Structure formats: structure tokens, C-alpha cells
Amino acid sequence: MEKSLVIVESPSKAKTIHKYLGKNYKVEASMGHIRDLPKSQLGIDIEKNFEPKYITIRGKGPIIEKLKKEAKNASKIYLATDPDREGEAISWHLASLLNIDINEKCRIEFHEITKNAIQNAIKNPRKIDMNLVDAQQARRILDRLVGYNISPLLWKKIKRGLSAGRVQSVATRLICDREKEIEDFKPEEYWSISAYLYKEKKSQSFEAKFYGTKDGKVELKNENDVNKIVEDLTDDYVVENVKIGTKKRNPSPPFITSTMQQEASKTLGFTAKKTMMIAQQLYEGVEIKGEGSLGLITYMRTDSTRVSDEAKKAAYEYILRKYGKEYANPNATYSKKGGNVQDAHEAIRPTYIDLDPEKIKDSLKPDQYKLYKLIWSRFLASQMSPALYDTMNVDIINKNYVFKASGSKIKFAGFMAVYTDDEENENEDKMLPMLNSGDFLKLKELKPEQHFTQPPARYTEATLIKELEEKGIGRPSTYAPIISTLLERGYVIKEKKNLKPTELGFIVTDVMKEFFPDIVDVKFTAQMEEQLDRIEEGIEKWCDVIDEFYNGFNDSLKIAEEQMKDIEIKDEETDIKCEFCGRNMVIKYGRYGKFLACPGFPECKNTKPLYEEIGVTCPKCGGKIIIKKSKKGKIYYACENSSNCGTMFWDRPISETCPKCGALLVEKYSKGRKIIKCSNCDYVK
């Protein structure tokens, strides 16, 4: 009996799907893309309406031959690539190579790898959506035109190995512009006055902040302003207004790609690249004891917060069983603000809500468990009731001056029984003592404080992704590769979690601003994304969009080729001598960050790692503690003489010792909060 052939991208996805389809189906993997533009040339015929010249990707020949052989013997072929533009393009290439009629209903689509989803998809095949294919093709051609025309110029005028990209160049500019804001920032002085008050002798004091006078708010700009007020204050603090109420805190919506990457960065310390890699594993299927291979989450490249009725119902029933009716919210709905939302997708959620992370912890790798728990908890919380707080807001009068105090306390946990930001929760859960209008309060301490405005923070991976999303730049699938490219090209380095532009990043950005202002213009790039969306919707033709872009771009390219001057980038010299030739070694940037190299290259090819010091001395031998990386890329801290003394830490040590045992203290972050503890005993500061 002839079998139907189902083609997916990866073997793990094939394995999970096969268990739901049975013996009448054969499931094979294409191992991702099988055709692409050639690497050695532009691969686009500009004179023929930008016609792309696709070739078979090197190494994919045997896979294609196997797929052709299986297709010849199959009664029916289903193309089950990912449910997005890129997946649609892969199906189109497969159809072309396997001689499948473009009008044949061969494409199946699902957003979760479950039995119902797979079997429903098989029952409802559709034609390949050429609008989706054209949108992907337009993006690929745009990126190729930009990259393959500007990159050689950068190689020639600045240094080899550089690249420019339609989206990566904007991301680099954002990071560079933020750094300039920080450099140009001029702090401004301001002051605050806090009064720590109490009602009765044994009662705990609470903080009331200076607001102004009965006539309105007063800004405290210098010490003189503060001293005048402090001198004028008396010991008589009287409660004037007490406002008691209830505050509702709603749960966050379930994850989309960008929010998942942001939260995984903040709470788990994952890079965007790592988050997407683990999410892909959870989506395609993981071996669960007693169950076989299961797809644990829905498709992880999405910008929609929509949830299917079936998933809502399952979550509602689970919450009823586990927490009770008051915790369940049958009307939980979320809508993504802004345009360009692919609402055919769902939010990222667990495929089986009953698969509690703790139930399957033993079947998951530690990082898989952490991300799955984050996704599972966030989704479940999104379907639960709001949290309720009792609140109190108080105005306190001293002569004509007004101080304000506020407090809140959890009345009903709601969704916070499952998922919350601990830091935010801690700040909110502080109630004032019972106060009434006319109460006299006693002063424990009056604390005037000087402050200075702070410069904007450098981007982290999480905040850069948030910025790109808010400005409409890129798509869910592009954020992780963009950041990886910036680091690999040496345009940006990581300092702790912060993204800091290098001199090279500034130089390339300045060149792009001068000669290709549209390419690094945020609004222009966002408009290009909108045009790609219009191609997907069938409103615009892809070749017209490319033609409109290319006319202006080609003019800029000609000017750049004529006017761009050579730029010399001098390497930063160190006082570290090359042990082979005696020259002072210089700092270079590679895909894994800084390293030391001999400036005598190519005569002397000596290189060595450049270790960053953290300002802490080794307690054993007095050497410097430096940052190192394990073979798997995990950061650790070790003595520069660690081969002799053996001192190392997984958590970052600080220059303080434990009062109990004398060992160095270390700092670590848990759920966004810093914890200082002993590296040797159970002491926690």
C-alpha cells in the first residue's frame, strides 16, 4: 500500500508528527532550506525584474534525492513546513523540486504539534500561499541587494570581514545613538525630603515624601531650597486626607516572541539566540517519560497574543481544579496594539496545560525546564483573575507643607499565585498603619537627599528587542540573528548584560549615515516592513516594491563608490609583550569578543585570550580574578594563576569576605534581583 509523504524541516519535528499519523504516512525532514541565492555572487538579475537565481544549497543533494525518491512512491505529498513566510517559501522550493503543481492542495499548516492539530491539518490541506512566498522573497532580495552591494565597499574602505544589513545597520545605529546620548548627558541636580513618621511609640515608622505646599507641587532643585524648608518645618505632622481604596492588577498577556526573549533574558539570563534555540526544541518535540516525543509549546515565532478557544477552555478547567472558581477568568482576552500582527498565529503557550513543569522536570534538560516553566506559568496566569490590593493614600500637613505617603497590601492574589515579577510585588506589598484624618504623627527622622538625573541606560538584548519591536523594525524571527551578527562583526561588545558599541561600530554607522541615510533610518526601515506586509496581503507586487527601493539605493551606491574615503582603524596597543617577537600586543575583536594579537602579522601569528579583570584579588595567592569562559560558553571567574592555585567561582566574586568563614562573597541574580552570599558556607547578606 502506497503511503502519503509528509515533509517537515527537522528530524525531531518529523519524529513527533509521525507518532500522530500512523503507519499510512511517511514523515521526512528537509533539514531547513534546500535552495537559496548563491553565496559567491549577487544572484539577482536586476535587468529582469530582479529575478532571483536560486541554487541547491551545498550538501543538500542527498537529501533532495531521498525526498524525490520518496515522493515518487507516495500516494500524496503534504508540505508541513513552519507556519510563517519562511516556512511557506521552503514549501514553495520543495514543490518546485518535486514537480508539485502550484495549484495543488499540498500545504498543511499547524501552530502546535498535537494529535488534533496534525490530524486537522491533514484533513484541510491548502494551496501554497504565493503572497506569503513573495513577501519572503522580497525580504530576501532586499537584504541581498543591501548586503552584497554595501559590504564590499566597507571591506575596501575600512577593513575586511565587515557587513551591512537592512535591519542590522539600524540596530547598530540605535546602540550607537544611545551611547552618544550617554556621553553627551549632563546630570542635573535635584533633591528630595523624606519624613519617617510613626503614630505611637512602638509602632513601625513609615516614609512620607515631600510633595510641596497646599498651593501645589514644589520642585527641589538645590540645597538652599531644601534647607529653607527643613528650617521652617515643625514637629507637628498632622494627617489631613486619607483615601482608602482597592487597586486591580491585571496579568500580562501570554508571550509573543519578543516578550519571551525579553523575559527569558531578565529572569533566566538567556540570550535571544539561546531562548529561540530552546523554544524550537520545545515546539518540535521532547522525549517525555511514558509519553514519547511531545511538542510542548505552540509555534514560537509569533507577534499575536490570540489564544484558541480550546486552549482557553483547558486552562479554565485546570484553574478551577487547582485553584478554585475565584481564580478563573473565563473572559481573558488580549489584543496586540499596533498593526502588522500575524493574527493567524496564536500566542506562545503550552500545548497541554495539564503537563505541569514539575511533572515533566525529569524529562527535560535544565534550560528546557526553565523556559518551559516560564512559558507555562505566564500563559496560565494570563487566564486567571486580576490580583486585588487594598490601598491607602495619605496627605500629611506640616504648617503649609504637604507630605504624601502611600501603601498597599495584597487582598487577593489572583494570577500572582502562579506568576509575578517578585521585585514589583515586593514594592507593592507594603501597607501603612491605620491612619485617620486629624491624627498627630511623630517624627523619627527627616532625611534630605541630593540626587542627580541619570543618563539613559545602555541597551541590553531584552531592551533592544523591545525597541526594535516598538519601532516596527524586523520580525519575530529576526531579532536573535540580528544581535548575534552585531556581536560577531565586532560592532558591539557585551559588558555584563549591556550592549556597547565599539569604535568600529561607530565608524560603520557614521559611514552609513553619510552615504546610505535611508538604510539606517528607523522610519524608512519600518515603512519597508509595512510594504512587506502589504505584499503578504496581496495589495502590492514584490517586484514593484524592490524596484522603488532600488532606484534610490543605486544612486546612493554610485555616490558612495566615488566619494567614500579610506578609513584606517588603529588597534588599541597594550603593554603585554608578544613572547615570540617582543612587540606590544594589540586588542582585536572577533566573533567571541576581544582577544590579543601580535601586530607583526603575518610574520608573527601569535594570538592569546584577553581576560577582563573584575577588581578582586585571589584570596589564596594574591593574583587578579579574571572572567573566563568554559568550553560550553558559560562564564566563570578564576585566578589568573588558576593553573597553580585552582581558585575559581561560578558566581561573580566581590571584594568582601564572609563574616562567618572568611571566604569571598559572591553576587548572583535571581528573577531580576541581586543576591550576595558566601562562596563557601550558607551565609547570605
Q: What is the pLDDT of residues 71-120, one digit of tens each?
A: 999 999 999 999 999 999 999 999 999 999 999 999 999 999 999 999 99
**Confidence at residue 260, expressed as pLDDT on a 0 to 100 scale:** 96
Which residues are CB-contacts of 485 (< 8 A; sequence separation ≥ 6)? Answer: 163, 165, 168
Which residue do the cell numbers 534581583 mark? 673
Is the per-residue pLDDT at 341 higher than 60? no
Which residue do the cell numbers 547570605 mark? 684
Is the per-residue pLDDT at 661 higher than 50? yes
Q: What is the dihedral of CA 87, 91, 93, 97, to 10 degrees?
A: 150
Which residues are CB-contacts of 175 (< 8 A; sequence separation ≥ 6)? Answer: 458, 459, 464, 486, 491, 492, 499, 500, 501, 505
Looking at every residue in the chain, the average pLDDT score rounds to: 91
Any alpha helices (H) in 162-302, and if so which ranges?
168-184, 223-232, 257-263, 272-284
What would the mean pLDDT of 410-426 be, rounded to a whole number? 79
Per-residue pLDDT tens for 235-246? 999 999 999 999
**H or E segment at 76?**
none
**Confidence at residue 357, expressed as pLDDT on a 0 to 100 scale:** 97
Is the per-residue pLDDT at 505 higher than 90? yes
* SS3 assignment, position 267: helix
Q: What letter would DSSP give residue 126?
A: B
Distances in whole angstroms, Cα of residue 95 to Cα of each of 57, 77, 333, 627, 663:
16, 9, 38, 50, 65
Measured distance CA(674)–CA(668) in Å, rounded: 6
Is the per-residue pLDDT at 670 higher than 80? no
**Confidence at residue 611, expressed as pLDDT on a 0 to 100 scale:** 80
**Confidence at residue 31, expressed as pLDDT on a 0 to 100 scale:** 93
What would the mean pLDDT of 337-346 be, rounded to a whole number? 55
The residue type at 265: S
CB 566 within 8 A of CB 157: yes
Per-residue pLDDT tens for 560-618? 999 999 998 877 888 889 999 999 999 886 655 678 999 988 889 899 888 878 889 89
pLDDT bin (cut points 50, 70, 90) of residue 675 is: confident
Look at 602 and 213; give whichever has higher pLDDT: 213
Q: Which grid cell sits at 430?
A: 507594603
Any alpha helices (H) in 204-343, and if so which ranges?
223-232, 257-263, 272-284, 309-322
**Confidence at residue 569, expressed as pLDDT on a 0 to 100 scale:** 80
**Confidence at residue 674, expressed as pLDDT on a 0 to 100 scale:** 75
**Confidence at residue 422, expressed as pLDDT on a 0 to 100 scale:** 56
What would the mean pLDDT of 323-346 be, rounded to a whole number? 72
Measured distance CA(531)–CA(519) in Å, rounded: 15
Is the per-residue pLDDT at 684 higher than 90? no
Is the per-residue pLDDT at 536 higher than 90? yes
Q: Which grid cell sits at 481?
A: 540573528
**H or E segment at 6?**
strand 4-8
**Confidence at residue 200, expressed as pLDDT on a 0 to 100 scale:** 84
The tally of CA atoms less than 13 A away on the side-chain side of residue 181 is 13
Is the per-residue pLDDT at 342 higher than 50? no
pLDDT bin (cut points 50, 70, 90) of residue 641 is: confident
Q: What is the dihedral of CA 631, 637, 642, 643, to 10 degrees?
A: 0
Radius of gyration of the CA atoms of the chain, in A:
30
Distances in whole angstroms, Cα of residue 654 to Cα of each of 269, 321, 325, 591, 644:
20, 47, 48, 29, 22
What would the mean pLDDT of 360-369 be, rounded to a whole number? 96
Per-residue pLDDT tens for 623-638? 889 988 776 667 889 9
Measured distance CA(17)–CA(15) in Å, rounded: 6
Tell me the helix, strand and coil percentages in the chain, rounded to 5. 35, 25, 40
**Confidence at residue 335, expressed as pLDDT on a 0 to 100 scale:** 60
Is the per-residue pLDDT at 642 higher than 60? yes
Measured distance CA(85)–CA(196) in Å, rounded: 59
When mean pLDDT is compared across 171-175, 537-541, 597-601, 644-648, the lowest value belongs to 644-648
Per-residue pLDDT tens for 130-180? 999 999 999 999 999 999 999 999 999 998 888 888 999 999 999 999 999
Given 78, 237, 299, 550, the catalytic residue? 299
What would the mean pLDDT of 290-301 be, rounded to a whole number? 93
- Distance of alpha carbon 145 from the chain centroid: 27
Measured distance CA(326)–CA(314) in Å, rounded: 16
Which residues are CB-contacts of 262 (< 8 A; sequence separation ≥ 6)? Answer: 462, 463, 465, 466
Is the per-residue pLDDT at 304 higher than 50? yes
Measured distance CA(498)–CA(492) in Å, rounded: 10
When mean pLDDT is compared across 470-484, 514-528, 586-600, the lowest value belongs to 586-600
% of the chain exceeding 90 in pLDDT: 74
CB 308 within 8 A of CB 29: no
**Confidence at residue 632, expressed as pLDDT on a 0 to 100 scale:** 66
**Confidence at residue 366, expressed as pLDDT on a 0 to 100 scale:** 95
CB 158 within 8 A of CB 488: no
**Confidence at residue 672, expressed as pLDDT on a 0 to 100 scale:** 54
Catalytic residue status for 299: yes
**Confidence at residue 338, expressed as pLDDT on a 0 to 100 scale:** 46
Question: CA triplet 153, 159, 162: central angle to 5 degrees?
Answer: 70
**H or E segment at 514?**
helix 503-515
